[in-house]
Structure 1
């Protein structure tokens, strides 16, 4: 029996897994197959009679219009890719095959969903880029800048907020991405009740609404109520060794963009890689710190101090300037250690270190040479009066009584001062001179 092709064609088209769109020259949808519902969430009856450009992702509208005009001039395409917005708000990547029917004045297109493929490619590329950023960065800030570039490619026109949490001080530290970038980092307190605080405190991914007045913090949906706005805020915790390091947040200023499960999975993958890289970088920095600093007080150790002293002497030689080296030894430290115990002695050394840092300049270097011996390197000294003033300030600060094991402890110290170039032109000679003067001071004190 003869086949009624006119009746059969729509049935065949609706059997196709890839949706078929038919659009007139004004962009109005005149036909769409049933497969469109699984692609964009809209039924055929909802889309017919509407403009196809209304469903486009805002970032792809301009180039899609240009390509549509090209097709209507007789240039079919088979590999044009763009993004549409699903009915629930998430982006769908579509690969198009389209041609123009001049007789019917209609553009006929076959749409293939390639979102999963694009996500897989993005995930692979993200892993590579983050690893590349970690390898090339010489600091945690450098890693953050690399992650920012990765996020900008994965989520175009989205704002990124990367926050690290210090549970001891209960503060958040974020990279300073301002235009002038006055600081590398900015600190702020955790704000309870925000979506960001919820992500960090619970260690769980959260979809929320963006708060225009508080970038990055997000608005928590009240229990039992619908979201106060579009789900255009997505926060993922940075977790390493079951500890929350902070959070990775993206948010869109567009109300048309709503994050979906696929976005959560991709951002969670990125966050996992970032947490691993950050933890590794922190471990490396800690090992590097231990190699050059005293483990008890955190001060510069003997090795690093010697390097800084040599550098300072070379600079002073070039600029014909003065350098002062102070060698300090606490008086009666052994008696305090024996009387109050080693733990109290350690606390006394730590307090001494903090006080020495407090009364010296950022350009100066304070070091623990071992036991109860400390050194202070003073650079850019104008004259001897400046050295005397520095020593006087140290004596004043150190004279304040300390409380150890419930007892008031008074600390004094013997000090030797050596000047470059008068007392030595090399690091070894200057240290030897300061050390000798310090012991001479101690002997005079004991004799007196």
Structure 2
């Protein structure tokens, strides 16, 4: 008996079908190898468990149990299909053929179910049914006219053999009437000369796409786009033509051409540069002002990537990624961007500053591109630079004023603290300068101040600052002083430079200066303290006879 069971198990495992043996309570007795491979469950995982515990989907549980109950009641053989749920969650459609083994009393003892996985077959059948149904729906309910006619190499197209409902309504012919006509009878644009060319294309490539004009019974002309395909119908070569009414498109194209003409007329008078991109960032329009500012003509940039043409670099030469370009961002985000300052590159490679507004273009509820209007802000930038310079520099001498000096002193003190450096602040004014103004006039006095300022700048390094505080008072900031004695060296250079004779017009002038010196951190650690102490030292130098310097630390 054991050998017989082993033989039966081996047979069940070698056959290609799914075999499941159930007792009359639905528990699994046998679960062959094909079942294991399909479901992912081993026989050990299934034997002794009700078949519906793991393999059935919830919505089929009741129908399957009802079928099983009928089998146990003696209604066999039977065939049905149901889904099996595999261990990894996949669904497989199984076609079952069921029979039963009876006990000595004629009662059902075991149910034997033999199954085939028909998932792919059912999918193909469903797809075929769906395809046929969709073809019928598309043919008669689509938005395009469909016409079918025979074709033979070297011959004119034959009469229509089929037409859908829309073709009949559009042309105002019955299907029977259309079957007495050929494409040449309803076409006003494709001549007999064109037919062989189109036919050859269909013959070689299997399809052709072209525009034409259909003529209805009442003479109405309907512009159409025809997508023609060659195929075999009952062994006969035919052409299926899908004719799309493009009346609205043609009207829209005409309106667009008119709109573009108006746009060019309007924008040609504007001073702002204007350009338009499609949704791929390619330039489709550029006005005269943009051509003038960029140095490119519209013809040179049409269809080109606008960002890579003139918005690809920063003033420092680094690259501007396209994802950082506001004009491109407006296409993808639908937002409007207002940029106060950016840079475009001319055709000759020079950069110029611009401000611009970029906004998305919409058509039919979709973003179709972006439009940008830009201005050359070179003059504005220059004006801002002049204003900034005036706010921070002395109008007469061009030296930094007290505002800029204060900023540089704060920064220099912070660095001196950080790196443990000495810092020198030198105050000086010209001795008896008022007498020159009173006797020779302010014009001579002003020229004298400018000459002194130039000499002071020559006495210091580029990193140092010479500032005019007002009147004849100057301040020198030495942010990096190696040792205290270096401050005295600079003071002596200043005194010597100022002492040299000056020719102002016809006047040879001899002047002197009094200098006060304060060092950080010895003479103060804060801005106001240093300035006050340097000023105090300067006045002590005046009191000591002028034309000399005084260290605050030696007062």
Give the TM bin, normalised by the shorter chain.
Answer: 0.3 to 0.5
Structure number with higher relative contact order (C-alpha < 8 Å, ≥ 6 residues apart): 1
Larger radius of gyration: 2
TM value normalised by structure 1: 0.45
**Structure that is richer in strand per residue:** 2
TM value normalised by structure 2: 0.37
